[in-house]
Amino acid sequence: MNLTAAWCVFRKELIDVLRDRRTLIFMLVLPTLAIPAFMWVTAEVMTHFLQKMAKEQSEVLVINGDAAPSLVDELRLRSNPMGTAMRLAGLLESKGLSRQEMAMVQNKGPRAFQRLLDKHGIDMAEIKEQIMGVVGEEDFEANPAAIMGRAFPPNLRLLNETEAGYGTPKDPKLKEQWLLDAVRTEVIAAAVEFPSDAKAKLASGDTACVTIHYLDSSDRSSMAYKSLKRLLGAMDKQITTQRLHDRLLPAGLAHPLKIKGERLPGPGILIKLMSQLLPYMILIFAFLGALYPAIDLGAGEKERGTLETLLVAPVSRLSLVLGKFGVILLAAVVSALLATVSLAASLQVGFLADLSLISGSEFSFSLLEVLITLAMILPVACIFSALLLALSIFAKSFKEGQSYAGPLQMIVIMPAFASLLPGVKLDWTMAAIPVVNVSLALKEIFTGNLDQHWGHVGLIFASTTVVAGLLLWFATWWFRREEVLFRS
């Protein structure tokens, strides 16, 4: 092997690459700017939706609240963002301490909190004294977690069973199904159930078991569960302190409240994760499946010199475009379906199968849901195919077509990412945004919530089909322009 000859070839090809401004832009400038921009946008979007979900009021059903009225009153007081919480939040804001910054250090220990205070030039002893003055409790521990709990409590609205439409069945199985339907349809976010003898047990110094009913696959329900668990944990500590103060020594002295999470028999955490991942993977593979056939059928034909021969054949331009479009669309749909089948099959073997068995989570994918999924994938695959075909027709070479496809892929990744964002719900606004709507619709289908979104599914199919039709018309018009086909 002649290394000198290889080095000469390397230098020649490198010089050719460096002379091409488009290659430099897409190879050097775009990745340098795109990756930080992508990370920044992703972090900002996730933070926005997390904060939005945290601020939204969640309805929590109180079951058997008459058995523990004092606990219900205390729970209602602690989940109220007004009063003390508003004053404490105002104090933090006046010091320049944002909710986001406090959330970042709340579980990081005292050193992280000290660094945050140093950043804003705040004296630790002074701020703690001011916080104690607002809270008005001598035994209050002014650490980040406690401050966050008091300044930004979960916005929960407690509903009594006696309110119209919230009566739970007495039969355990019927009650479980009723709660599942109520949480799944977002009538409530969760339910907290007190035992009938809660008041007597607490009075005697015993332990009362409080059950929180929630749904794993719902971001809103999971957040409500964590909030209730945190509030009840704080109440448990307060009761323990009071008992010690009164010098009572019953068996349940150290644990007056036993908090039990009862997962409703709906989709589990594995289904939630897969329902977030699958839409993203399906859309990305639909795009990637169409990418190389599209570039080859446009820019590739130009590079091979076969496009001129094809254009003089007794075939209309519309027929040429539709034929090429059909091949690209087929590649996109097949790629998306194979990705779906592969990911679904992976749940049956190996680690994911064991995790599925342990979590009790199984995909329930009916024939109707399969057909609706295909109906969602098809028009968005048409959008990708038409876009890539138009891009390929414009490119002068296969290499240039690949360069153009890079930024387009980034544009596709961002809206496809919607299924992975917490708290983003499929509503009429989201249903009108291309790619985002399909990502969220597939997420709802995989979690078994299709029956809640028939109207949204109809709007998504109609709007996506219209967009795909317009892009296909554009690709046809583009293909008729000689200055596009034969760019110098």
Asked if pLDDT for residue 100 goes beyond 60, the answer is yes
**Beta strands at 190-193 and 208-214: parallel, antiparallel or unpaired:** antiparallel
pLDDT band at 266 (very low <50, low <70, confident <90, very high): low
pLDDT at 164 over 50: no
Given a contact cutoff of 8 angstroms between Cβ atoms, the answer to whether 350 and 312 are in contact is: no
- The amino acid at residue 203 is A
Provide CATH 3.40.1710.10 ranges for the chain. Answer: 168-266
- What are the backbone dihedrals phi and psi of residue 49, each rounded to the nearest 5 degrees, phi first? -70, -35
Number of neighbouring beta carbons within 10 Å of residue 278: 22
Give pLDDT, residue 476: 84
Helix, strand, coil percentages, rounded to 5, for the chain: 70, 5, 25
Residue 267: pLDDT over 70: no
Q: Say yes or no to pLDDT of 358 above 60.
A: no
CATH H-level superfamily of 168-266: abc type-2 transporter like domain (3.40.1710.10)
More confident residue, 257 or 288: 288
Q: Specify which residues 262 forms β-bridges with.
A: 213
Question: In whole angstroms, what is the distance from residue 375 CA to residue 445 CA?
Answer: 12
Give the residue carrying structure tokens 């804001």: 93
Q: Is the whole-model pTM more than 0.75?
A: no
Q: Terminal CA-to-CA distance of the chain, rounded, Å? A: 39
SS3 434: coil
| Residues 6+ positions from 296 with CB-CB distance below 8 Å | 392, 398
pLDDT tens-place string over residues 301-313: 777 777 767 776 7
Say whether pLDDT at 183 is over 70: yes
Q: How confident is the model at residue 194 (pLDDT cuts 50, 70, 90)?
A: confident
DSSP-assigned letter for residue 5:
H
Burial class (CB in 10 A: 0-12, 13-18, 19+), 312: exposed
Compute φ and ψ for 421, nearest 5 degrees: -85, 130
Helices 367-394 and 317-345, interaxial angle, to 10°?
130
Q: How far apart are CA 308 and CA 488, in angstroms?
A: 15
Question: What would the pLDDT profile of 368-401 be if each residue is shown by its tens digit?
Answer: 877 888 888 888 989 988 888 888 888 777 777 7
Q: Residue 313: how many CB atoms within 10 A of its CB? A: 9
State the CB neighbour count (10 A cutoff) for residue 259: 19
* Average confidence (pLDDT) over 100-120: 75
Going by pLDDT thresholds of 50, 70 and 90, the confidence category of residue 367 is: confident
In degrees rounded to 5, what are phi and psi of residue 267?
-60, 135
Lowest-pLDDT range, 8-12, 214-218, 460-464? 8-12
d(CA 470, CA 383): 9
Determine the Cα–Cα distance for residues 326 and 385; give it in Å rounded to an integer: 9
